[in-house]
């Protein structure tokens, strides 16, 4: 046990950035959040065409937003090469931190930061390869000169800006007190203490935006270093790289054009690919403890079902989005129209393909565009949004209505989920049973007008996602014709392909996709002062030829990206 660890906290006041408190955490960009819009009175909130008036302005943002846990992990990875805490059984560092939450940091949360910092510092200094990421020199003598250089170099990267003279002096004071706060005062022990102090500094834990250069009446222009931090955490979820740091140091992030050039460069980095994938998981509500990983089936009815298929289906969906965005430089419309799929021997039969033609790895294929256009016709979505022994027009319809079209049907009335599915000789299709199940006065307005119709169109696919033209149990023909509420009015739809074509050109669907990006990238859910940005992006989507990568870089061009606003009383 290193004796400095109990005494180092006493020296906290000497460390740069360790004055004050650790403030609010931001929205978790890895998992995102829902975008609540209306529906609280039981009447769906239909945003119409999505191109109406917007309210100009800059949405207020926290000056002291904490790193989310996902950002913390990526930051220590890129700073120090640490991806797991070996002292705790190879778990990600954030596993030991409190869950992401807004508000002041609790004593328990602060203790967790200190414990994790202690483990990281010890691990880095015990591993020669990791140590090189912190110490760029070899301490000699009392080590003060090397550690001073480390304060300047590592501090610049850890704080996402150059240290002030006062901060350098405080960290130098830690080095000077090395014999008091470590067992022997050896340079490597002092270096470990120094790293610990950096990792528990609020300036490291927080993404502070405190520049007070006035911008208009309620805002402040961000410094170049604050812009660099916003840019790197939006596109990569981690610290700026050397090129971005250099641009900030040279004042080359002051204009929209300069920011755009950096954003376009950064999208070529694999970390941007990871961020775009994380966004689409948010858009799809795909991830741990969601419908995507919790499916169960009655194997007497669906003998092909195997829990081992679930991650393969999810991976196919992620590959679909990644391929369209980065390989094909695709547009939002292609998400709903492309026949491209990624199939292996286990999923091929679900698509009516010969499994003998495939191996264990997912292979790109082109499916029948009249049956399989877009992600909503892939087996991942169709399997996730089904029930144990049948399809679920309600689950599929809710997703299309709320998540694709942006119409929030609100919360079901009490007891609605327990409404039994009717049976009867005249109810020979799942569609008829669901229609009767939701015919009550408290259900019909939302279900018959908004939720059920798109779900009924999707009855062309069974609970495993296979194409079907008749009910398996009764032999009754599947009816996929419905009046789907799109862009403020019911629209006659005849088939899944027809639905996908109409969703692809829907201003509502385009606006919802843009809204989701704005909420995710700016780490705030549906703020009214972001409405002009949403409008501008969705207008470009509607015009056609506007790629997803265009949209991502344009997120850096909104007036709010280089400006901080404060909440007015």
Q: How many residues does the chain have?
A: 569
Cβ(191)–Cβ(182) below 8 Å: no
CA–CA separation, 318 and 163 (whole Å): 41
Q: Give the whole-number percent of the chain exceeding pLDDT 90.
A: 79
Q: Give the CA distances from residue 282 to residues 58, 91, 95, in Å, rounded to whole numbers and listed in that order.
A: 24, 24, 20
HEC readout, 308-332: CHHHHHHHHHHHHHHHHHHHCCCEH
Token pair of 237 as six digits: 């979820």
pLDDT over 50 (residue 369): yes
pLDDT tens digits along 75-94: 999 999 999 999 888 999 99
Nearest to 206 by CA among 8, 11, 18: 18
pLDDT tens digits along 167-193: 999 999 999 999 899 999 999 999 999
Q: Give the whole-number percent of the chain exceeding pLDDT 70.
A: 90
Distance of alpha carbon 49 from its chain centroid, rounded? 26
pLDDT of residue 233: 98
User: What confidence tier does 518 reach under pLDDT thresholds 50, 70, 90?
Assistant: very high
Backbone angles phi, psi at 9, to 5 degrees: -60, -30
pLDDT tens digits along 309-355: 999 999 999 999 999 999 999 999 999 999 999 999 999 999 999 99
Q: Which residues pair with 491 in a beta bridge?
A: 484
pLDDT tens digits along 210-256: 888 877 677 899 999 999 999 999 999 999 999 999 999 999 999 99
- Strand duo 206-208 + 219-221: pairing: unpaired
Cβ(314)–Cβ(295) below 8 Å: no
Average pLDDT, integer, range 111-136: 97
To the nearest 10 degrees (0 to 180), the angle between helices 69-80 and 107-126 is 20
pLDDT tens digits along 456-499: 999 999 999 999 999 998 999 999 999 999 999 999 999 999 99
- Strand duo 213-215 + 489-493: pairing: unpaired
- What's this model's pTM, rounded to 2 decimal places? 0.91
CA–CA separation, 392 and 417 (whole Å): 13
- Give 517's contacts (C-beta < 8 A, 6+ positions apart): 279, 537, 551, 552, 555
Backbone angles phi, psi at 155, to 5 degrees: -60, -35
- Give 347's contacts (C-beta < 8 A, 6+ positions apart): 309, 312, 313, 316, 379
Q: Nearest-5° angle of CA 38, CA 58, CA 215?
A: 170
Cβ(124)–Cβ(134) below 8 Å: yes
Name the average pLDDT for the chain. Answer: 90
Q: Which residues pair with 214 in a beta bridge?
A: 220
User: What confidence tier does 385 reach under pLDDT thresholds 50, 70, 90?
Assistant: very high
CA–CA separation, 107 and 329 (whole Å): 47
pLDDT tens digits along 524-558: 988 899 999 999 999 999 999 999 999 999 999 99
Instruction: Select the more confidently predicted residue: 59 or 118.
Output: 118
User: What confidence tier does 8 reach under pLDDT thresholds 50, 70, 90?
Assistant: low
Kindly report the number of other CB atoms within 10 A of residue 145's CB atom.
13
Instruction: Select the more confidently predicted residue: 8 or 263.
Output: 263
Average pLDDT, integer, range 24-41: 39
pLDDT over 80 (residue 62): no
Worst-scoring range by mean pLDDT, 28-42, 126-140, 395-409? 28-42
Q: Nearest-5° angle of CA 475, CA 479, CA 480?
A: 140
Cβ(110)–Cβ(86) below 8 Å: no
CA–CA separation, 488 and 440 (whole Å): 24
pLDDT over 80 (residue 38): no
Distance of alpha carbon 516 from its chain centroid, rounded? 10
pLDDT of residue 18: 42
Backbone angles phi, psi at 24, to 5 degrees: -70, 150
pLDDT of residue 46: 61
pLDDT of residue 16: 38
Average pLDDT, integer, range 197-210: 95
pLDDT of residue 24: 54
Nearest to 527 by CA among 104, 63, 64, 57: 57
pLDDT over 80 (residue 37): no
Cβ(528)–Cβ(488) below 8 Å: no
Nearest to 316 by CA among 295, 274, 346: 346
The two most distant CA atoms of the chain are separated, in Å, by 92
User: What confidence tier does 34 reach under pLDDT thresholds 50, 70, 90?
Assistant: very low
Strand, helix or coil for residue 564: strand
What is the rounded radius of gyration, in angstroms, for the C-alpha atoms of the chain?
27
Q: Nearest-5° angle of CA 215, CA 220, CA 224?
A: 105
- Give 492's contacts (C-beta < 8 A, 6+ positions apart): 481, 482, 483
Nearest to 52 by CA among 504, 559, 543, 532: 532
pLDDT of residue 45: 64
pLDDT over 80 (residue 503): yes
pLDDT of residue 197: 97
CA–CA separation, 200 and 66 (whole Å): 12
CA–CA separation, 55 and 526 (whole Å): 13
Distance of alpha carbon 294 from its chain centroid, rounded? 20
């Amino acid at each position: 046990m290193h004796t400095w660890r109990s005494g180092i906290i006493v020296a906290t006041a000497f460390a740069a950035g360790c004055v004050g408190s650790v403030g609010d955490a931001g929205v978790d960009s890895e998992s995102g959040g829902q975008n609540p819009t209306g529906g609280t009175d039981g009447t769906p909130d239909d945003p119409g065409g999505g191109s109406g008036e917007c309210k100009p302005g800059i949405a207020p943002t926290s000056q002291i937003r904490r790193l989310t846990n996902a950002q913390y992990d990526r930051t220590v990875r890129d700073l120090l090469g640490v991806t797991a805490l070996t002292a705790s059984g190879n778990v990600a560092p954030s596993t030991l931190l409190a869950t992401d939450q807004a508000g002041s940091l609790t004593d328990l949360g602060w203790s967790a930061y200190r414990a994790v910092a202690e483990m990281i510092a010890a691990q880095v200094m015990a591993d020669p390869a990791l140590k090189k990421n912190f110490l760029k020199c070899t301490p000699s003598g009392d080590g003060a000169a090397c550690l001073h250089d480390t304060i300047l170099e590592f501090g610049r990267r850890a704080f996402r800006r150059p240290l002030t003279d006062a901060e350098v002096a405080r960290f130098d004071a830690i080095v000077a007190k090395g014999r008091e706060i470590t067992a022997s005062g050896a340079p490597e022990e002092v270096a470990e203490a120094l790293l610990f102090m950096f990792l528990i500094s609020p300036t490291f834990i927080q993404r502070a935006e405190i520049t007070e250069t006035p911008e208009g009446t309620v805002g402040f222009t961000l410094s170049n270093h604050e812009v660099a931090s916003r840019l790197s955490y939006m596109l990569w979820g981690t610290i700026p790289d050397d090129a971005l740091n250099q641009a900030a140091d040279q004042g080359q992030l002051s204009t929209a054009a300069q920011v755009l050039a950096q954003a376009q460069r950064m999208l070529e980095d694999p970390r941007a690919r990871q961020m775009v994938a994380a966004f689409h998981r948010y858009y799809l509500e795909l991830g741990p403890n969601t419908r995507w990983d919790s499916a169960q089936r009655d194997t007497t009815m669906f003998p092909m079902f195997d829990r081992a298929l679930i991650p393969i289906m999810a991976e196919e969906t992620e590959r679909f989005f990644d391929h369209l965005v980065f390989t094909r430089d695709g547009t939002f419309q292609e998400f709903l129209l492309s026949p491209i799929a990624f199939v292996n021997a286990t999923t091929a039969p679900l698509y009516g393909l010969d499994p003998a033609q495939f191996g264990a790895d997912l292979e790109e294929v082109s499916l029948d565009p009249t049956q399989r256009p877009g992600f909503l016709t892939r087996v991942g979505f169709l399997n996730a949004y089904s029930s144990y022994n049948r399809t679920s027009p309600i689950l599929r319809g809710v997703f299309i209505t709320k998540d694709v079209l942006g119409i929030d049907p609100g919360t079901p009335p009490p007891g609605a989920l327990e409404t039994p599915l009717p049976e009867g000789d005249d109810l020979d299709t799942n569609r008829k049973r669901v229609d009767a199940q939701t015919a009550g006065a408290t259900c019909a307005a939302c279900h018959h007008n908004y939720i059920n119709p798109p779900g009924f169109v999707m009855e062309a696919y069974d609970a495993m996602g296979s194409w079907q033209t008749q009910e398996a149990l009764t032999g009754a023909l599947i009816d996929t014709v419905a009046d789907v509420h799109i862009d403020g009015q019911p629209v006659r739809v005849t088939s899944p392909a027809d639905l996908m074509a109409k969703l692809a050109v829907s201003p509502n669907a385009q606006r919802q996709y843009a809204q989701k990006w704005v909420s995710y990238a700016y780490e705030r859910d549906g703020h009214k002062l972001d409405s002009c940005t949403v409008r501008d992006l969705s207008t470009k989507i509607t015009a056609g030829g506007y790629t997803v990568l265009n949209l991502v870089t344009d997120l850096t061009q909104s007036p709010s990206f280089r400006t901080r606003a404060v909440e007015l009383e």
